[in-house]
Chains A and B, each alone.
Chain A
Amino acid sequence: EAGVAQSPRYKIIEKRQSVAFWCNPISGHATLYWYQQILGQGPKLLIQFQNNGVVDDSQLPKDRFSAERLKGVDSTLKIQPAKLEDSAVYLCASSLEAGTLGAYEQYFGPGTRLTVT
């Protein structure tokens, strides 16, 4: 079974530039999450999708971050404009639809390491 795919793996941009990350979840996983992991800290949830709808975006800095999952499969996370403090690893995770047996387990992708200079 293929895992969660993310691209690019690394990205370096200057502050005030924009950047986009892509995630392809495990086939059949209805729920998709984006997490931000700053060096030395645990992942922090940014947004959760169930199919193509947003379930929770309470911690997403909406003035500069946006995310979409138009067809309920792939997702993109965008930052515009980037700030120095956005330097982090952006992790995508997926799980089965809530209420399904085994839905508690989230499977993480390899992440995109963003450096803002």
Chain B
Amino acid sequence: GQNIDQPTEMTATEGAIVQINCTYQTSGFNGLFWYQQHAGEAPTFLSYNVLDGLEEKGRFSSFLSRSKGYSYLLLKELQMKDSASYLCAVRDNPGGSGGGADGLTFGKGTHLIIQP
């Protein structure tokens, strides 16, 4: 089965740094994704990790440890607009040129509240 855990809610201060953790237990692994979702809107892609290590993209960074089944999303220089839900998702099948299944399994999301 698939199990993806992340905290339900976190609060942080504008200008600060916050780390959102995600642990997963899946039958296979072919990449971990982070999406941002503002209330009432569609999820938007933030990051993709398939190898161990840190991927940095502007104010956002994502880390993966496959051996530990663990990832985190790091948000720096927090802004009020960063208040949103952050979804951790795992792709457990590779898809491939043959068109195999590669849909995502999502966690329940972490609701991040930014305070002034």
Give the B-binding residues of A (Cβ under 8 A).
Answer: 4, 31, 33, 40-45, 48, 50-51, 53, 55-56, 91, 97-99, 103-111
Q: A109: nearest residue on chain B (CB-CB)?
A: B42
A55 x B106 contact (CB < 8 A): no
CA distance A40 to B6 in the complex (A): 13
Instruction: Say what secondary structure dominates the interface of chain A.
Output: loop
B100 beta carbon closer than 8 Å to chain A = yes
Given contacts A44-B106, A55-B101, 8 further A-B contacts (CB under 8 A): A40-B108, A42-B89, A91-B42, A98-B97, A98-B100, A104-B50, A105-B45, A109-B42
Q: Which residue of A40, A45, A55 contacts B104 across the interface (Cβ within 8 Å)?
A: A45
Q: List 16 A-B contacts (CB under 8 A).
A: A40-B108, A41-B109, A42-B89, A43-B87, A44-B106, A45-B103, A51-B99, A56-B103, A98-B96, A104-B91, A106-B45, A106-B104, A108-B42, A108-B43, A110-B41, A110-B42
A103 x B95 contact (CB < 8 A): yes
Please name the 4 residue pairs, one residue from A and one from B, whose CB atoms are nearest each other, closest first. A42-B106, A98-B95, A99-B97, A56-B101
A97 x B105 contact (CB < 8 A): no
